[in-house]
């Protein structure tokens, strides 16, 4: 028996890598077939599919392997050469991913609520705030962090940095933007049925020059300056018994009808930059916008600097209000549906009913040409919520618009730090910073606005 066991062990060691490669190759083949099939049939569905990759990235190796095995089984009835099935396949992918969400318990909720109130809270502070034991907090905190149920990010104070977050909407389907100030790639049909959408960071002092370039070369364009107002996480509708979200929509509609509101007070104190800031500070801020609790050792290694310098820069950036710490729940928490609610006018006070939803982010948009302001409410909701909330809001205000687009509040790309003039404490901007291309076909493009290299 012992000899047989040894032989089996040797055989396993020899052939296991081969089996693992075969399984991995099968999964990769399925991924490639899906991307190819969806891209041929529907470009927008491909964009939605790519967004789901963040959920797949959050799965550990075993769960990801299980997911692709289950997906292969679910797609057996589909032939990936039949048109008009891309949408159905995407729904299958979404439903499978929803089954891999983490079921939070009461201790998890207490810990997340404590971190939401104070995102930089230590484990000792969490114990004090939740009245849970050290062992429970350590175990559940490590599980939440390891499962990527949430992330803590730094939302940059763009006004203090001298930057303006810009959203460009255009009906022009033949031209594209390429710029070192570009923060995210273009999105087709991303918002209000427009053909193109870009998010960009532009120096506030050069906003007028930027607008002239956009209006000159992009037809039927609108430019909005975005302002982050408020981020809210609320567990009112989390059923701790079933350990899942359960929104009582009739009750929520009644709360909305009460017209109870919450004032959003902006912190105008110390908004404008007074302290000198270095390019290294901005590079560190880039990492903090991705993960505020990232190990300082990792940041130091990436930037080839010392941990003490990273720690000091992080402390100074926070004390000088260059960023706001925010807790964001991810799809792993069961909030798998995103909805952008676009109101046609600016509201001075936010309906408190919105802040009772699981996760809400409030923005103010100012249109460049007319200077009119409007409010945008972004919500993350449990499965099956979009239809219900749309029906309620359309009854209350038929002019309300909706979009599946997700605004990334924490985007601060590392590339933009190279455009900062440390000596003069400003951003190096000029017409060469923006390129607008005229699209001929998929493989051939030429600059519509010929720009030399910076």
Tokens of 326: 């925010």
Tell me the HSE value of 132 on the side-chain side, using a 13 A CA sphere: 22
Q: Which residues pair with residue 374 across a beta bridge?
A: 365
User: Does residue 266 carry a pLDDT above 90?
Assistant: no
pLDDT 10s digits, 420-433: 999 889 998 887 88
Alpha carbons 412 and 322: distance in angstroms, whole number: 12
d(CA 252, CA 392): 9
Residue 330 scores a pLDDT above 90? no
290 φ/ψ angles, rounded to the nearest 5 degrees: -85, -40
Q: Is the pLDDT higher at 408 or at 313?
A: 313
pLDDT of residue 46: 77
Helices 279-290 and 296-303, axial angle in degrees (round to 10): 130
E-strand spans in 292-358? 323-329, 337-342, 349-351
How does pLDDT run across 174-187, given as a tens digit for each residue?
A: 888 888 777 666 67
Measured distance CA(356)–CA(386) in Å, rounded: 16
Task: Write down the pTM of the prediction.
Answer: 0.78
- Up-side HSE of residue 155: CA atoms within 13 Å toward CB? 19
Residue 260 vs residue 359, higher pLDDT: 359
Instruction: Give the Cβ contact number of residue 292 at 10 Å.
Output: 21
Q: State how far the Cα of 41 lies from the Cα of 44, in Å rounded to an integer.
A: 9
287/293 Cα distance (integer angstroms)? 10
The reported pLDDT for the residue numbered 436 is: 86
Residue 288 has pLDDT above 50, yes or no: yes
- Distance, CA of 303 to CA of 181 (rounded, Å): 21
Note whether 257 and 398 are within 8 A (CB). Answer: no
Nearest residue to 99 via CA among 72, 47, 59: 59
Tokens of 368: 């460049």
Range with the poorest average pLDDT among 42-51, 57-66, 80-89, 168-177: 57-66
Residues written for the chain:
454
For residues 412 and 23, which has the higher predicted lDDT (pLDDT)?
412
351: left (phi over 0), alpha (psi -120 to 50) or beta: beta
The chain-wide mean pLDDT, for the chain, equals: 82
Q: How confident is the model at residue 59 (pLDDT cuts 50, 70, 90)?
A: low
Q: At which residue do the structure tokens 């560190």 appear?
A: 284
The answer, yes or no, to whether residue 213 has pLDDT greater than 80, is yes
Inform me whether the pLDDT recorded for 413 exceeds 60.
yes
Query: Which residues, including other chains, have CB under 8 Å from residue 318's CB and lie 6 or more apart?
Result: 120, 325
Please indicate whether residue 182 or residue 453 has the higher confidence score (pLDDT).
182
Label residue 365 by pLDDT band (50, 70, 90): very high
Predicted confidence (pLDDT) at residue 267 exceeds the cutoff of 70: no
Is the separation of the CB atoms in 348 and 229 below 8 Å?
A: no
Rounded to 5 degrees, what are φ and ψ at 17?
A: -55, -35
Q: How confident is the model at residue 450 (pLDDT cuts 50, 70, 90)?
A: very low
Residue 398 clears pLDDT 70, i.e. is over it: yes
**Band (372; pLDDT cuts 50, 70, 90):** very high
Q: Is the pLDDT of residue 4 over 60?
A: no
Residue 431's Cα: distance from chain center in Å? 29
Read off the pLDDT of residues 93-114 as tens digits, 9 standing for 90 and up: 877 776 677 889 999 999 999 9
Q: Residue 191's pLDDT is what? A: 74
Mean pLDDT across 180-204? 76
* pLDDT tens digit sequence for 131-142: 999 999 999 999
Q: What is the pLDDT of residue 273?
A: 57
Across 397-414, average pLDDT: 85
How far apart CA 412 and CA 83 sit, in angstroms, is: 39
Non-local (6+) Cβ contacts of 359 within 8 A are 232, 233, 234, 328, 329, 335, 379, 380
Give pLDDT tens digits for 8-28: 555 455 455 554 544 456 777
Q: For residue 398, what are the CA distances in angstroms to 160, 190, 392, 393, 401?
A: 37, 21, 10, 7, 8
CB 44 within 8 A of CB 188: yes
Structure confidence at residue 184 (pLDDT): 67
pLDDT at 418 over 60: yes
| pLDDT for residue 65 | 76
């Amino acid at each position: 028996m012992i000899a047989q066991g040894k032989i089996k062990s040797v055989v396993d060691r020899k052939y296991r890598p081969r089996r693992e490669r075969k399984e991995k190759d099968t999964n990769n083949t399925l991924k490639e077939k899906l991307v190819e099939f969806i891209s041929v049939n529907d470009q927008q569905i491909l964009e939605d599919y790519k967004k789901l990759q963040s959920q797949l990235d959050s799965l550990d190796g075993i769960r990801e392997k299980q997911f692709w095995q289950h997906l292969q089984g679910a797609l057996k009835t589909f032939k990936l050469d039949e048109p008009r099935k891309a949408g159905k396949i995407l729904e299958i992918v979404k439903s499978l991913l929803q089954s891999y969400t983490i079921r939070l318990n009461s201790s998890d909720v207490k810990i997340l609520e404590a971190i939401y109130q104070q995102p930089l809270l230590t484990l000792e502070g969490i114990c004090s705030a939740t009245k849970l034991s050290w062992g429970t907090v350590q175990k559940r905190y490590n599980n939440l962090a390891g499962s990527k149920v949430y992330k803590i990010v730094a939302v940059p104070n763009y006004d203090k940095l001298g930057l303006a977050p810009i959203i460009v909407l255009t009906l022009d389907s033949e031209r594209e933007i390429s710029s070192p100030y570009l923060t995210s790639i273009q999105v087709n049909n991303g918002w209000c049925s427009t053909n193109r959408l870009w998010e960009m960071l532009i120096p506030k002092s050069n906003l007028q020059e930027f607008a002239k370039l956009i209006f000159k070369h992009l037809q039927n364009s609108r430019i909005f300056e975005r302002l982050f107002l408020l981020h809210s996480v609320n567990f009112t509708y989390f059923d701790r018994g079933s350990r899942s979200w359960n929104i009582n929509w009739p009750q929520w509609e009644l709360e909305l009808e009460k017209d109870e509101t919450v004032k959003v007070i902006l912190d105008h104190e110390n908004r404008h930059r007074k302290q000198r800031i270095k390019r290294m500070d901005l590079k560190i801020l880039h990492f903090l916008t991705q993960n505020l609790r990232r190990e300082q050792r990792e940041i130091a290694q990436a930037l080839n600097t010392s941990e003490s310098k990273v720690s000091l820069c992080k402390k100074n950036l926070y004390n000088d209000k260059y960023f706001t710490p925010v807790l964001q729940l991810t799809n792993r928490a069961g909030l798998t549906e995103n909805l952008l609610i676009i109101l046609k006018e600016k509201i001075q006070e936010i309906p408190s009913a919105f802040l009772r939803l699981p996760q809400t982010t409030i923005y103010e948009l100012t249109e460049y040409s007319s200077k009119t302001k409007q409010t945008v409410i972004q919500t993350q909701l449990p499965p099956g919520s979009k239809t219900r909330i749309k029906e309620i809001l359309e009854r209350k205000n038929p002019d309300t618009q909706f979009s599946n687009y997700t605004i990334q509040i924490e985007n601060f790309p590392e590339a933009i730090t190279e455009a900062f003039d440390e000596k003069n404490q400003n951003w190096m901007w000029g017409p060469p910073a923006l390129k607008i291309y005229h699209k001929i076909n998929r493989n051939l493009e030429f600059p519509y606005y010929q720009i030399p290299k910076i």
